[in-house]
Amino acid sequence: MYTLPRIIVALDFDCMKSALAFVDQLSPLQCRLKVGSELFTRGGPELVRRLVDLKFSVFLDLKFYDIPNTVAQACLAAADLGVWMVNVHALGGAAMMSAAKNALQSYGANAPVLIAVTALTSYNEKEWQGLGFKQNLNQSVVQLAQLTQQAGLDGVVCSAQEAAVLRAEFGPSFCLVTPGIRLAGNMHDDQQRVATPEEALAAGSDYLVMGRSITRSPEPEAVLMRLNSVF
């Protein structure tokens, strides 16, 4: 269900000024932008509005996880900011996810894409089992994705390692957003389940979340143009 551009640049900056200075180097025709917890805590709704005003499609990555009504109201607040995509935690359960989906119905075709986080790409198998899950990591991701689809959401966040299984299971209309994307030779940093852009696309990912491979490049727009030329 993807539409171009397919790259979502993670704005992992520690202040609004630095984030906006970086964004000045980019074009909304080449990428979308992700605002996560750190930057949103520092820049707040004002930052999101400024990015939207610059014509960027914004993924508000706050992973809402609370009682159903609270999450529903948070999703409405995100929609009011004009974001393109927002996410919740699938571990919040079916009632919570359904409440979020229902809350956005009033926006009709202008509703943000609503996806759910399955398992963070910072988890490995040992850490996942340490949380007390009986199923292995891949099995758990599939089960959480099933719950997400049943609740009516548009898709999930998953690693490239699970993307092929999820694409086969849920078909082409289920949106797969894959973080942990690194250019070949880049360090993994704090991510465990990583992939190159080519690997993630081959596995069936719709959108690729890329941070340091782009934000630390001296020519980020050139990196984006090179990547987009093969999509």
| C-beta separation of 177 from 207 below 8 A | yes
Decide if 63 is catalytic: yes
Catalytic residue among 17, 34, 55, 63: 63
One-character DSSP codes across the chain:
---S--EEEE---SSHHHHHHHHTT--TTT-EEEE-HHHHHHHHHHHHHHHHHTT--EEEEEEE-S-HHHHHHHHHHHHHTT-SEEEEEGGG-HHHHHHHHHHGGGGGGGSPEEEEE-S-TT--HHHHHHTT-SS-HHHHHHHHHHHHHHTT-SEEE--HHHHHHHHHHH-TTSEEEE--B--TT---TT-SS-B-HHHHHHHT-SEEEE-HHHHTSS-HHHHHHHHHTT-
Residues recognised as catalytic: 63
